[in-house]
């Protein structure tokens, strides 16, 4: 003996918030709360006026669906091709219509986002809710991983920048100078080795804080006197190197360094005191030593620098071959 059960509309809505109950003529007797909220105006409406029905091959009516015994269906809301469902249609008995239980299928994530669906819009036993929790958790984890990757990339950029930057002045350090030289594509460039005069007297007389202040002023002046594309590096306590790509003549280079030395000779206020320094420099052009590496050029610029110091300081000299042993 086949048992027969009947469910009231309220119980049916709780169990299947996306159901459609149809009579034999294809009119909607009841609809789940989720469907009613999404579509509206369904009570008593003709199924065919609201939905296009698919059942493998197209099935044009509910009666035709019932004749083939129901089964899996696909519905599309008329006038809203973006709103489609998958489901199962079950005949309720001869001449009694059908019960159709629907879902969003694989489009559930997009539907939740578009229609602001919540747990209450799904059956309590629907695994969709659990899958949504997993999806949200996965999305949150991926967002955290993306944010972490951005932070790591930022930290990497900062670390790389710190690795080539002098901590006190913000100028390039020796490693930064080496990389800048490697990046030069022009055959002609100039290197200048500049050393401060009387800097030790500032440190000894006014302390290292005053010395740091002087170094910051020097860094600012060197940066102000540099062209776009030039590199200014601090390679020692009071030693600086200027790399000037494209510089192929001595006269403009000498004039620029002489101007820098003049500015560095001006008094530098520090609190109630005044710091007085100067500078000497040696200059070499790449054209003077074709094929020489950076270490050789720096050695020649260093020789010119010490020749300038022996000549009375406060000046810049262009390297000459006879300075090699000085």
- What are the catalytic residues? 238
Nearest-angstrom CA–CA distance, 55 and 61: 10
Q: Do 87 and 9 form a contact (C-beta atoms < 8 A)? A: no
Nearest-angstrom CA–CA distance, 294 and 221: 25
User: Per residue, what are the HEC states of the chain?
Assistant: CCCCCCCCHHHHHHHCCCEEEECCCCEEEEECHHHHHHHCCCCCCEHHHHEEEEECEECCCHHHHHHCCCEEEEEEECCCCCCEEEEEEEECCCCCCEEEEEECHHHHHHHHHHHCCCHHHCCCCCHHHHHHHHHHHHHHHHHHHHHHHHHHHHHHHHHHHHHCECCCCCCECHHHHHHHHHHCCCCCEEEEEEEEECHHHHHHHHCHHHHHHHHHHHHHHHHHCCCCCCEEEECCCCEEEEEEECCCCHHHHHHHHHHHHHHHCCCEEECCEEECCEEEEEEEEHHHCCCCCHHHHHHHHHHHHHHHHHCCCCCEEECCHHHCCC
Q: Do 284 and 296 form a contact (C-beta atoms < 8 A)? A: no
């Amino acid at each position: 003996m086949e048992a027969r059960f009947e469910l009231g509309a309220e119980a049916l809505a709780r169990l299947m918030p996306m159901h459609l109950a149809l009579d034999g003529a294809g009119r909607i007797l009841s609809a789940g709360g989720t469907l009613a909220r999404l579509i509206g105006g369904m009570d008593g409406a003709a199924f065919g006026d609201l939905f296009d029905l698919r059942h493998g091959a197209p099935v044009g009516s509910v009666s035709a669906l019932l004749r083939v015994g129901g089964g899996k269906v696909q519905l599309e809301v008329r006038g809203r091709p973006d709103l489609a469902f998958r489901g199962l249609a079950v005949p309720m008995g001869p001449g009694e219509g059908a019960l159709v239980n629907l879902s969003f299928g694989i489009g559930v994530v997009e539907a939740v986002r578009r229609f602001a669906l919540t747990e209450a819009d799904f059956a309590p036993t629907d695994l969709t809710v659990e899958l949504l929790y997993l999806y949200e958790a996965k999305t949150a984890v991926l967002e955290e991983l993306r944010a972490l990757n951005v932070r790591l990339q930022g930290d990497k950029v900062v670390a790389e920048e710190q690795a080539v930057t002098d901590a006190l002045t913000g100028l390039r350090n020796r490693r930064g100078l080496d990389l800048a030289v490697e990046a030069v594509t022009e055959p002609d460039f100039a290197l200048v080795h500049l050393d401060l005069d009387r800097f030790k007297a500032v440190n000894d007389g006014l302390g290292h804080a005053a010395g740091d202040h002087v170094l910051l002023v020097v860094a600012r002046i060197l940066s102000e006197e540099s062209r776009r594309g030039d590199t200014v590096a601090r390679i020692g306590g009071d030693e600086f190197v200027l790399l000037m790509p494209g510089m192929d003549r001595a006269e403009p280079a000498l004039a620029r360094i002489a101007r820098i030395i003049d500015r560095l000779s001006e008094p530098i206020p520090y609190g109630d005191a005044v710091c007085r320094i100067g500078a000497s420099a040696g200059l070499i052009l790449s054209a003077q030593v074709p094929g020489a590496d950076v270490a050789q050029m720096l050695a020649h610029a260093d020789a010119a620098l010490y020749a300038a110091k022996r000549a009375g300081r406060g000046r810049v000299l262009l390297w000459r071959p006879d300075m090699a042993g000085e």
